[in-house]
Amino acid sequence: MTSYIPVAEITVKQLGEQLRQPNASAPVQLVDVREPEEWAIARLDGFINLPLSQFPTWSEQIHVHLDPQVETIVLCHHGIRSAQLCQWLLHQGFSQVKNVRGGIDAYADYVDRSIPRY
């Protein structure tokens, strides 16, 4: 059994501020682990879609998709699936992983009401 590593969190308001004012000197990787059907309903610009259900197809190539030394923000619908991926990424040597608390549902409620909720 793998050990639990505490996962840092970012609020949807903090995420909104970061997306509005990107810092070119501090790159960030944005990952959405929701299903393609969910992704089609609502998504945020800049996020790549790595569905958690398709984990076996992309997990072995994670270091091709993402740099373990760059801040990585992970999003899902409510924050549960993204927390699972954050935990896995930390075990893969990623050092700057943050889970979006409340997921895209909270983002649509508190930051951008134009994003469809489902």
| Tokens coding 21 | 């004012």
Tell me what percent of the residues of the chain surpass a pLDDT of 70: 96
pTM: 0.93
Question: Residue 1's pLDDT is what?
Answer: 54
pLDDT at 23 exceeding the cut of 60 = yes
Report all structural domains of the chain as residue ranges with CATH numbers, in order of start.
Answer: 8-110 (3.40.250.10)
Give 24's pLDDT tier (boundaries 50, 70, 90).
Answer: low
Please say if the pLDDT value at position 5 is more than 90: no
Residues labelled catalytic: 76
Res 73 pLDDT > 70: yes
